[in-house]
Structure 1
């Protein structure tokens, strides 16, 4: 029996592999065959009469890319170079800038820069449009071609022309490529709270998260108040790692995520298989508009089980799963084949994960006027029929009066990250209340 491999993708990220049976539907009907004949007629005309000579490979790859681009933003054809790029990113090391990008109307759009990479240090921001690489216009290139130009030997320079919403002129940003070692997890302890920053979901993320929990508990001991899991600007990645990260904070048997395909019975469910490694300590999860895919799986599962309080901004809303179907020894088809759902049955496609408490990032002044880009803004994005109130998709929550403090005022108070500060404050107040209640009960 022929098999295919299932992945959950962001534009530059992958998720876990699951073998499943392949079903093939033969095209039927005279109209289909007529249209196929027409396709071959166009192929032959272009091949013989186009102003410049083009190869059969070039034409066929273009036809395939056009077909897949008409479906959704995440289905694509992977040539040999693209398959290799995907492997290097999943393994967690490559030469380049450290960007997660997508394509919108022929323009490369930044979803998020990765922490501590040349792109983030140079000031590239989510929502930026990259129009030129080394002064050459890249409009019209495929996403994979643009990504290939941005990658290169460590130590080599590259210049990006960036259009940033809210800026009147294009920005010229010079960057030096480096070896991008995607260390997916960093941790620190602040006020007896363990802060775990997860920047991506590659092969190291699950084990590194469990190691971070052990290290924090060893360092703090009994005074540990709880954990903040920072998933902001995390573009996603491997599905099995999202499941393992969630499993670390849940008890055995709880559902983490399900994926549902085209057929009614095509449903796969994933459950926690170990005990809660944190022993029930309070958890707050930070998300923003750059938290996507695997990040939304983690946030959605822990939110549904009331295991964590989610704060920040509504997440990206990428709730589809892609299957990697090998076509030859070095090419593959990446095809959207399912949607994933949180344990309560929510599809986050378009709608994203709504925080329990909306908290803007007041310490980043550029966010106040910058247009936010999410899955629902991408051309051909899959629609979510269960989202009845489209304002949830189209509009962000209006500013709350309690968040009228300015960036300058926060700087004067020494607050560098307002959302994290807010999370730490909530944890302190929650655990303080718990101690009072326990003492009262003891009396």
Structure 2
């Protein structure tokens, strides 16, 4: 090779490197080059880096990577090079978002894929596709049936309150959250789901296969629980778009039967919509703030009683039943009633969720629930991670629970058990005493 050829190649490489460094190829791309092969490999990167630099400059951006570009690079590299199964970019992106949300260490800030978001929307509308059963988690971390809903497949196929769900379609529920089990049970209308249930006194697990159907959720159930003393009872299972409408109908019906005292049961109620909590509380609290809301920058702002909702019912002595699963909107209502002296709380300390989430839909049908506000009770008490202590504490024992489930298995259409429910018994006793010295009167 002549000196002229060597000089020409050297000048060519030098020119290329100058352009490359000017275009964004860093020294580290050539660091450690010890042979012609290494040099060729480094030089092969130049067109790719020049293209990136050109596109960056054309878009008026700096050459420094953003987190979005890093994510796109990783996803592209995985799809091109991963040895295992094919990469699903949508699911991988969803899982990446879940990881991002999880890094906040906020259990309530979460991502919902399109199906999960649609399920939540359906729940808030008061209907869903499933079997018609309310699930919970017991002290042994087992998923169990709290109550079987009227009109659903679970009632017809003899799923019973107290049944422990061991498997869904053969998949174990061990260490799963109740929300995850609900997701397994739900599906397209007309498809079937098989539950493997551990039932008290059954010699072996009970296996039931039933269809999934659209279930109209009756979130409110009511009756006269004590005909002699005219004590009414209303159970509210969730705060969705139907809750206040159904509460209104129940109050009017009980009023027509001459009720003189009322028990509002918010036990096992996980909460729901903030505006519905305001409407429900307005039916029992005379006036003033129901809850105080604060975002991360602004001052506290109150959501007050809606006067028109307060004045269209009679005023009765009121007892509210709460327990450790009364959360969020349930705590807004029970907290307002306790703080204003509008009623008496009986039961156990509530869950302690003092945060508000805003649901934001995304263009692909998914959504994010983001904690945007902190709320305080009517008297500005912070109940987050603390809960609300009842006025009268009545602990619910495991034996009480077993007796109640036995009663509900024998009476599947019942929605309360006055015989074994010690908290309900105490609420009734409190109301009977109060109605002896108080009479129903219109709201002022």
Q: Same fold (TM over 0.5)?
A: yes
Contact 1:285 1:310 in 2 (8 A): yes
Tell me, which stretches of 5 or more residues in structure 1 are unaligned? 1-29, 369-412, 436-443
Deviation at 1:305, TM superposition (A): 0.4
* Equivalent residue number for residue 87 of structure 1: 121
Counterparts of 1:153-192 in structure 2, within 5 Å, are 153=188, 157-160=192-195, 174=208, 176=210, 177-189=212-224, 190=226, 191-192=229-230
Deviation at 1:323, TM superposition (A): 1.2
Distance 1:110 1:322 in 2: 27
Contact 1:288 1:312 in 2 (8 A): yes
* Equivalent residue number for residue 96 of structure 1: 130
Match for residue 122 of structure 1 among 147, 159, 164: 159
Counterparts of 1:353-368 in structure 2, within 5 Å, are 353-361=388-396, 365-366=400-401
Distance 2:299 2:197 in 1: 43
Q: Deviations over 1:4-25 (max 9, x none)?
A: xxxxxxxxxxxxxxxxxxxxxx
Contact 1:284 1:311 in 2 (8 A): yes
Deviation at 1:356, TM superposition (A): 0.8
Q: Deviations over 1:361-401 (max 9, x none)?
A: 35954479xxxxxxxxxxxxxxxxxxxxxxxxxxxxxxxxx
Contact 1:311 1:356 in 2 (8 A): yes
1:43 aligns with 2:75: yes
- Shift of the 34–174 alpha-carbon distance from structure 1 to 2, 3 Å rule, reads same
* Equivalent residue number for residue 234 of structure 2: 196
Counterparts of 1:33-72 in structure 2, within 5 Å, are 39=71, 42-47=74-79, 48-71=81-104, 72=106
1:310 aligns with 2:352: no
1:257 aligns with 2:291: yes
Q: Deviations over 1:115-139 (max 9, x none)?
A: 546668734659x7x6642112578
Contact 1:311 1:359 in 2 (8 A): yes
Distance 1:427 1:328 in 2: 51
Contact 1:112 1:235 in 2 (8 A): no
1:337 aligns with 2:372: yes
- SS where residue 59 of structure 1 aligns? helix
Superposition RMSD on alpha carbons, in Å?
3.9
Deviation at 1:212, TM superposition (A): 1.6
* Equivalent residue number for residue 430 of structure 1: 434
Distance 2:364 2:76 in 1: 27
Tell me, which stretches of 5 or more residues in structure 2 are unaligned? 1-61, 404-416, 440-444
Distance 1:195 1:137 in 2: 38
* Equivalent residue number for residue 78 of structure 1: 112
Distance 1:90 1:366 in 2: 29
Contact 1:363 1:417 in 2 (8 A): no
- SS where residue 315 of structure 2 aligns? coil
Query: Normalization by structure 2: what TM-score?
Result: 0.67
Distance 2:70 2:197 in 1: 40
Distance 2:353 2:145 in 1: 12
- Shift of the 272–432 alpha-carbon distance from structure 1 to 2, 3 Å rule, reads same
Counterparts of 1:132-147 in structure 2, within 5 Å, are 132-137=167-172, 147=182
Match for residue 243 of structure 2 among 178, 202, 205: 205
The structure whose RCO (Cα within 8 Å, separation 6+) is larger is 1
Q: Deviations over 1:298-320 (max 9, x none)?
A: 11110110111000112222222
Q: Deviations over 1:101-158 (max 9, x none)?
A: 799xxx99679657546668734659x7x66421125789999875443113567543
Distance 2:144 2:193 in 1: 16
Contact 1:255 1:343 in 2 (8 A): yes
- Shift of the 294–50 alpha-carbon distance from structure 1 to 2, 3 Å rule, reads farther
Counterparts of 1:286-297 in structure 2, within 5 Å, are 286-297=321-332
Q: Which has the larger radius of gyration?
A: 2
Contact 2:317 2:438 in 1 (8 A): no
